[in-house]
């Protein structure tokens, strides 16, 4: 078996088939959708990996989960550049997402930074796309009132609060002398259409040692603005301030546009937990009455032996005390506990996984290929590749058969294991596809009825075939 880039049993990072930075979560119909900056390796003329300077990023990676450990890969939104929806833009950094019913129909919105010089907005009828640009220009630019002098006009966050919605953005330190109070955070009311501004942006006052990374949540009736502190926080003042360099810090207000009162640090720089740090970027979200923190770290590239600043997303639990304050969050590789179980009797996309090694995902279908996101298939299979799924509940009656949707030009085998990817397989399927273009169903009886709750592992032999979905019967 090929070596995974995360330990079996761990939930972090949430995705290892590619990078995903600056995570933003949207909960819709009992699923969490994560949108992430599409970090991608930059190479020099000799083929060596260069330090990540974010210049080649024009995609937004999308995954979703109903249990926070098994994530379905929905691909990469072509957000900016000539191929992207916002073809006028050059980069797509730090996405934010929201949904809202408009004219009787649910619409989905992606906000992202065009480098450090403005905010774009895309819209879709689905949380996974296709996303298009409804205004064909920046939503926020340096021509927007009050924004010309914002050092970094980026890192949006969005809050839908009843009938109103708000956009938060900005960051950067204009000069060393202004490090303690840069004055570069902004908030603006969004129009009812979510693709326009309703009034001029306002400065969020007295954001102590602001660096970047807007966050916004409504918790227990209070508006919690959060951000990453800059790297000029004096060491001797960390106790007085309640935070240090590169830490996620909170502020609180009674109204969505402030005024905000300074709070404390809640998530230290990832270096404190994983030994490698850098910029710190986060979002908080509530799912099944529990709050969570999504943030990025460099543990995926650490396992790859790269250490060039390429980021991946983690999720850990948030604890809110009785007085409403958020207790310091611990970054872990173990991650969060599974919320519920996965149903193996429902057809699951093969791109749904908790852990894997030696596979890739690719867009499937006309829209996904054109726009980058949507349905995905598992490809790049070779002997020793595998996929793991956590916590599938087979119930008391149990499963007796497994089915796969397969296509390809060569033959191989899929070995199905329960709990650990070795020992005696419960099924062995001949991955003999009838077509290179169309997916067909192959099935196999299980060696014994499977009951109860188990982790599932698919271990592959051979190559030249691809998977679309699977289900137990």
What residues have CB less than 8 Å from 144, skipping those under 6 apart?
A: 197, 200, 201
Taking the C-alpha atoms of residue 416 and residue 422, their distance in angstroms, rounded to an integer, is 9
Residue tagged active-site, from 22, 375, 405, 455:
22
8 A C-beta contact, residue 296 and residue 313: yes
Q: Which helix (H) or strand (E) holds 76?
A: strand 71-78
8 A C-beta contact, residue 168 and residue 157: yes
Instruction: Read off the pLDDT of residues 178-188 as tens digits, 9 standing for 90 and up.
Output: 999 999 999 99
Backbone angles phi, psi at 397, to 5 degrees: -75, -35
For domain 21-318, which CATH number applies: 3.40.50.1000, 2.115.10.20, 1.10.645.10, 3.40.50.300?
2.115.10.20
Each residue's pLDDT tens digit in the chain (473 positions)?
999 999 999 999 999 999 999 999 999 999 999 999 999 999 999 999 999 999 999 999 999 999 999 999 999 999 999 999 999 999 999 999 999 999 999 999 999 999 999 999 999 999 999 999 999 999 999 999 999 999 999 999 999 999 999 999 999 999 999 999 999 999 999 999 999 999 999 999 999 999 999 999 999 999 999 999 999 999 999 999 999 999 999 999 999 999 999 999 999 999 999 999 999 999 999 999 999 999 999 999 999 999 999 999 999 999 999 888 999 999 999 999 999 999 999 999 999 999 999 999 999 999 999 999 999 999 999 999 999 999 999 999 999 999 999 999 878 999 999 999 999 999 999 988 778 889 999 999 999 999 999 999 999 999 999 999 999 99
Calculate ∠ Cα 33-268-64, nearest 5°.
10
Burial of 247 (0-12, 13-18, 19+ CB in 10 A): buried
Calculate ∠ Cα 316-11-156, nearest 5°.
50
Instruction: Read off the pLDDT of residues 380-409 as tens digits, 9 standing for 90 and up.
Output: 999 999 999 999 999 999 999 999 999 998
Give exposure, 339-353, as e/b (b: 16+ Cβ within 10 Å): bebbebeeebbbbbb
Short-list 242, 238, 254, 245, CA closest to 212: 245
Short-list 438, 437, 379, CA closest to 412: 379
Classify strands 119-124 and 105-113 as parallel, antiparallel or unpaired: antiparallel
- Concerning whether 316 is annotated as a catalytic residue, the answer is no
Taking the C-alpha atoms of residue 352 and residue 456, their distance in angstroms, rounded to an integer, is 12
How far CA 343 is from CA of 290, 407, 454, in Å, comes to: 22, 24, 11
Chain-centre distance for alpha carbon 9:
20
Chain-centre distance for alpha carbon 124:
18
- For the chain, what is the radius of gyration of the CA atoms? 23
Residue tagged active-site, from 39, 155, 212, 213:
212
Q: Model-level pTM greater than 0.85?
A: yes
- Concerning whether 212 is annotated as a catalytic residue, the answer is yes
209 backbone φψ class: left, alpha, beta (φ>0; ψ -120 to 50): left
8 A C-beta contact, residue 195 and residue 165: no
Taking the C-alpha atoms of residue 14 and residue 349, their distance in angstroms, rounded to an integer, is 17
Helices (H), 152-280: 238-241, 271-274
What residues have CB less than 8 Å from 134, skipping those under 6 apart?
A: 121, 122, 123, 195
Domain boundaries, the chain: 21-318, 348-472
330 backbone φψ class: left, alpha, beta (φ>0; ψ -120 to 50): beta
Taking the C-alpha atoms of residue 202 and residue 184, their distance in angstroms, rounded to an integer, is 10
Tell me which CATH code domain 348-472 carries. 2.60.120.260
């Amino acid at each position: 078996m090929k070596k995974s880039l995360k330990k079996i049993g761990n939930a972090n990072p949430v995705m290892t088939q590619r990078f995903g930075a600056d995570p933003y979560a949207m909960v819709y119909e009992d699923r969490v959708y994560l949108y992430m900056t599409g970090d991608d390796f930059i190479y020099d003329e000799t083929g060596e990996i260069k330090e990540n300077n974010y210049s080649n990023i024009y995609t937004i990676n999308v995954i979703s989960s109903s249990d926070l450990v098994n994530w379905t890969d929905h691909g990469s939104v072509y957000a900016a550049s000539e191929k992207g929806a916002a073809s006028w833009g050059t980069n797509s950094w730090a996405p934010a997402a929201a949904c809202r019913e408009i004219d009787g129909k649910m619409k989905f919105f992606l906000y992202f930074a065009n480098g450090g010089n403005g905010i774009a907005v895309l819209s879709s009828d689905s949380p996974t796309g296709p996303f298009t640009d409804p205004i064909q220009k920046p939503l926020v630019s340096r021509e927007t009132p009050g924004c010309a002098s914002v050092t970094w006009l980026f890192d949006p966050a969005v809050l839908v609060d009843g009938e109103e919605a708000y956009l938060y953005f900005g960051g950067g330190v204009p000069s060393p002398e202004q490090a303690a109070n840069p004055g570069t955070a902004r908030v603006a009311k969004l129009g009812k259409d979510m693709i326009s501004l309703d009034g001029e942006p306002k400065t969020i006052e007295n954001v102590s040692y602001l660096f970047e990374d807007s966050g916004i949540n409504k918790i227990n009736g209070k508006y919690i603005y959060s951000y990453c502190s800059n790297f000029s926080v004096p060491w001797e003042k960390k106790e007085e301030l309640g935070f240090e360099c590169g830490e996620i810090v909170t502020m609180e207000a009674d109204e969505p546009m402030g005024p905000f009162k300074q709070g404390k640090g809640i998530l230290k720089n990832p270096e404190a937990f994983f030994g490698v740090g850098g910029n710190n970027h986060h979002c908080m979200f509530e799912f099944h009455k529990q709050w969570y923190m999504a943030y990025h770290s460099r543990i995926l590239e650490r396992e790859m032996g790269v250490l060039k600043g390429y980021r991946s997303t983690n999720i850990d639990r948030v604890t809110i005390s009785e007085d409403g304050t958020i207790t310091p969050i611990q970054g872990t590789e173990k991650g969060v506990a599974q919320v519920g179980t996965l149903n193996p009797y429902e057809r699951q996309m093969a791109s749904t996984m908790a852990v894997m090694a030696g596979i890739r995902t690719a867009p499937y279908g006309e829209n996904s290929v054109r726009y980058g996101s949507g349905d995905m298939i598992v490809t790049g299979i070779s002997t020793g590749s595998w996929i793991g799924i956590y916590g599938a509940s087979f119930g008391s009656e149990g499963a007796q058969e497994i089915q796969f949707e397969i296509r390809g030009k060569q033959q191989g085998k899929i070995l199905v294991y329960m709990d650990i990817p070795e020992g005696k397989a419960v099924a062995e399927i001949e991955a003999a596809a009838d077509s290179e273009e169309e997916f067909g169903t192959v099935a196999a009886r299980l060696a014994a009825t499977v009951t109860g709750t188990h982790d599932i592992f698919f271990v592959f032999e051979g190559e030249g075939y691809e998977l679309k979905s699977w289900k137990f019967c």
